[in-house]
Chain A
Amino acid sequence: MEQAIDIVLMAFMAVTAIVMIRLRNLYAVVMLSGIFSLLSASMFVVLDAVDVAFTEAAVGAGISTVLMLGTLALTFREERPRRRRDLTPLAVVLVTGAALIYGTLDMPHFGDPNAPIHHHVAPRYIEDSPVEVGPPNMVTSVLASYRGYDTLGETTVIFTAGVAVMVLLSGVWRRRRRVAPLDPDAGRVSADGEGRPAHTETDP
């Protein structure tokens, strides 16, 4: 039964990914990426990783979809058609994929109880965390107590990302950008604010 759910979810994810590659309408692509995140969140639920699923649903399907829509409102809704077919990305993807699959051949099978990861620190967390730390949710014990340094680092990363976005989007650079000569190919924000692409064709 679980395997059937896995197969169905994987098939949906593959279809979503392929449709995302083929579509030119970026609004639909953003919506589909939200659906993709929701499908992977369901996948994490099947894997009994509810904390990860929760994060994926809230961040991947929720916030990042909204932020992508905000980006679309500032730029274009349609992807520009490609001028020529370039095979380099395909080759890069194929080589990388083959290398990754080759790498997994040495790895222990999925769910193997003898895998090294189940014998390193996981038994300590499972057996001792109720005594040493206390909370019934071991994920919280691991994240906030055993691996407090990592979580502090992650929080700092979020803070840094926020500061970077605020610096990039705030008014510091605007005046200089306006003075700089405009590249005729560069996208301009449309006047109506609806996210419709402005006319970028140069007049004859």
Chain B
Amino acid sequence: MRMHSVLRTSTKLLMPPIMLFGLYVQFHGDYGPGGGFQAGVIFAVAFILFALIFGPDRARAVAPSWVTTPLCAAGVLLYAGVGLVTMALGGEYLNYNVLAADPHDGQHLGILLVELGVGLTVWAVMVSIFLAFVERGRVETTAPDPESGDAPRD
């Protein structure tokens, strides 16, 4: 892809608006269509586009596996943790009313945190799955294990 300057330039131009739109969808889900799931997917699309054009190595430099793999679980834990906090504050599991003095503020905060958890998990899982596909293809095709003697046939 080193020669495709149009693709490279347009990717660089497109990535910031895509990520900004992902954040907009994430935090504007209360008021318009969207939410954590769609936002996570859109945010992941920016990374996948980057990986397609600039290669998985540079994508892994931006989203290394020690970031994406724990974040897969962190989103679910954040979601479940909000439920535990509401229980500790005396409400039912995932009853956001008790999170703030005013039930409306509590609901708002709870929905924000829960959607953030969904977005984190979806983003991390999508990026991980895509990079797992790409990296497996590279290992199998370009770097055969010399010990196994199973060089690629032609």
Chain A residues positioned under 8 Å from B108 (CB to CB): 134-135
A123 within 8 A of B: no
**Which of A62, A63, A74, A156 lies in contact with B136, CB distance below 8 A?**
A74
Determine the main DSSP class of A at the interface with B: helix
Best-surrounded residue of B45, B93, B125, B135 (most CB of chain A within 10 A):
B125
Interface residues on A, range: 35 or more
Interface residues on B, range: 35 or more
Asked if A137 and B45 make an inter-chain contact with CB atoms under 8 angstroms apart, the answer reads no
Q: Find out whether the CB atom of B153 lies under 8 angstroms from the CB atom of A189.
A: no
Q: In the bound complex, what is the Cα–Cα distance between A53 and B69 (angstroms)?
A: 29
Question: With the chains together, A53 CA to B32 CA distance in Å?
Answer: 13
Task: Determine if A62 and B41 form an interchain contact, defined as CB atoms under 8 angstroms apart.
Answer: yes
Expressed in whole angstroms, the minimum distance between the Cβ of B150 and any Cβ of chain A is 5
Set of chain A residues within 8 Å of B42, measured between Cβ atoms:
58
Q: How far is the CA of A192 from the CA of B152 in the complex (A)?
A: 9
A169 to B52, CA, bound (A): 19
Interface residues of B in 39-96 (CB under 8 A from A): 41-42, 44-45, 48, 52, 69, 72-73, 75-76, 79-80, 83, 93-94, 96
Q: Which of B31, B126, B134 has the most CB of A within 10 A?
A: B126
Q: Is A159 touching B110 in the complex (CB atoms < 8 A)? A: no
A189 to B144, CA, bound (A): 11
Chain B binder among A30-38, A92-100, A104-112, A145-153: A145-153
Are B72 and A137 in touch, CB under 8 angstroms? Answer: no
Could you tell me which residues of chain B, from 119 to 140, have a CB within 8 Å of some CB in chain A? 121-122, 124-126, 128-130, 132-140
A204 CB–B CB distance under 8 Å: no
Interface residues of A in 133-178 (CB under 8 A from B): 133-137, 139-141, 143-145, 148-149, 151-152, 154-156, 158-159, 161-163, 165-166, 169-171, 174-175, 178
10 further interface pairs, Cβ-Cβ under 8 Å (given A137-B31, A198-B152)? A54-B34, A63-B45, A145-B110, A152-B80, A158-B121, A166-B128, A171-B139, A178-B145, A191-B141, A191-B153
Q: What would 8 A/B residue contacts be, using CB atoms closer than 8 Å?
A: A58-B38, A62-B41, A152-B76, A155-B122, A158-B122, A166-B69, A174-B145, A198-B152
